[in-house]
Amino acid sequence: MNPYTNYDEISREKWQNLYKSSIAPLTSEELESIRSLNDEISLQDVQDVYLPLVHLLRLYKKNLEDMSFSKGLFLQKIVKTPPLIIGISGSVAVGKSTTARLVQLLLSRAFKKLTVELVTTDGFLYPNQVLSDQNLLDRKGFPESYDMERLLNFLYQIKNGEDCEIPIYSHEVYDIVPNQMQQIVNPDILIVEGINVLQSPESQMLYFSDFYDFSIYVDADEKLIEQWFLERFDSLLNLAQQDPSNFYHQFTKMPKNEVMGIARKTWAEVNQVNLHQYIEPTKTRAEIILHKTDNHHIDKIYLKKF
């Protein structure tokens, strides 16, 4: 069965005409500040792809407000509009972090009086010591390496209007940062980004998808994603040259061909397997799929029909 049967395929040219704006509401410098390592994005991408996407998200926000108002009339009491929760998923190195930060910035400009927060599911990874004790360090990034119950409870608390704090993950030290927490206080809109955003915890009565009002999957050909992963790995090595505390510093003392061999092995034995078994199968749970080609150029958008 065609996985896109329940989607309308929309070319970039058609998509950009669905919402017209005279100017992108940010500068090149602002765009550069949110761009992830080795990702490519331009103001033209903002104009063509992301402004129509944000306009669509405004419709979902309005629909959520209208439903809360109607429910309040039915129950004969005031029903507070819950936060709009947006999930953003996709493979490692596909550029979903840049998408998440850009959507956050654009929504903050679109809803100037509302609070737009962003969290990554990396914060719900078990600390390295816990993973090591459970012989899961080689499975880091796979579903069992995350505290899925904690993530599920976090989403429940946010929808319920509760303030939360979550752990902070550092890619530089490759671990949860001790004694530091991210405070999430009564957001109007919450963006949740991560490879496992659309996955489901085992043996639960609730699923992550129960809490998302809108979800995005960033997609690309697997060979391209592998190329971007290797390019990012190389860039991380360069950044870690003078920083002994950086996880990648250990690799800077090794011959380049040997290090890149480790990177290719990591892709083949970890990230590719994770993509095939757990990430890509969740793609069609997303409301919208942003498809990328060379240089992270978005050429097609798939919008779920129902």
Q: What is the mean pLDDT of residues 134-147?
A: 95
Name the CATH superfamily, with its identifier, for domain 7-220+286-304.
Answer: P-loop containing nucleotide triphosphate hydrolases (3.40.50.300)
The 8 Å CB, 24+ separation contacts for 295-298 are 295/40, 296/39, 296/40, 296/41, 296/95, 296/220, 296/228, 297/40, 297/45, 298/12, 298/45, 298/48, 298/49
User: Is 141 annotated among the ligand-binding residues?
Assistant: no
Q: Give 9's strand partners.
A: 302
Kindly tell me the sign of the dihedral angle through the C-alpha atoms of 225, 226, 227, 233: positive
The larger pLDDT score, comparing residue 2 to residue 147, is at: 147
User: Is 119 annotated among the ligand-binding residues?
Assistant: no
Mean model confidence pLDDT for the chain: 94
User: Is 90 annotated among the ligand-binding residues?
Assistant: yes
φ/ψ of residue 127, rounded to 5: -55, 155
Q: What is the pLDDT of residue 205?
A: 64
Task: Please tell me the least confidently modeled range out of 187-191, 207-211, 228-232.
Answer: 207-211
153 pLDDT tier (thresholds 50, 70, 90): very high
Q: What is the mean pLDDT of residues 196-219?
A: 84
32 pLDDT tier (thresholds 50, 70, 90): very high
User: Is 220 annotated among the ligand-binding residues?
Assistant: no
Computed on alpha carbons and rounded to an integer, the radius of gyration of the chain in Å comes to: 20
Q: What is the pLDDT of residue 23?
A: 64
Q: What is the mean pLDDT of residues 89-113?
A: 96
Q: What proportion of the chain, given as a percentage, has pLDDT over 90? A: 90
What are the pLDDT digits (tens) for 251-298?
999 999 999 999 999 999 999 999 999 999 999 999 999 999 999 999
User: Is 93 annotated among the ligand-binding residues?
Assistant: yes
- Measure the CA–CA gap between 248 and 240, rounded to whole angstroms: 6
> Could you state, in order of their start, the residue ranges of all structural domains in the chain?
7-220+286-304
Q: What is the pLDDT of residue 209?
A: 78
- Inform me whether the pLDDT recorded for 146 exceeds 60: yes
- Measure the CA–CA gap between 210 and 116, rounded to whole angstroms: 20
Report which of 268, 270, 250 is spatially closest to residue 259, judged by C-alpha positions. 250
Contacts of residue 37, defined as CB under 8 A and 6 or more positions apart, other chains included, come to 232, 235, 236, 239
φ/ψ of residue 303, rounded to 5: -115, 125
Rounded to two decimals, the pTM is: 0.95
Q: What is the pLDDT of residue 243?
A: 93
The larger pLDDT score, comparing residue 54 to residue 210, is at: 54
DSSP state of 119: E
- Inform me whether the pLDDT recorded for 106 exceeds 60: yes
- Measure the CA–CA gap between 251 and 107, rounded to whole angstroms: 39
What are the pLDDT digits (tens) for 70-99?
999 999 999 999 999 999 999 999 999 999
- Measure the CA–CA gap between 140 and 171, rounded to whole angstroms: 13
Q: What is the pLDDT of residue 12?
A: 97
User: Is 218 annotated among the ligand-binding residues?
Assistant: no
- Inform me whether the pLDDT recorded for 69 exceeds 60: yes
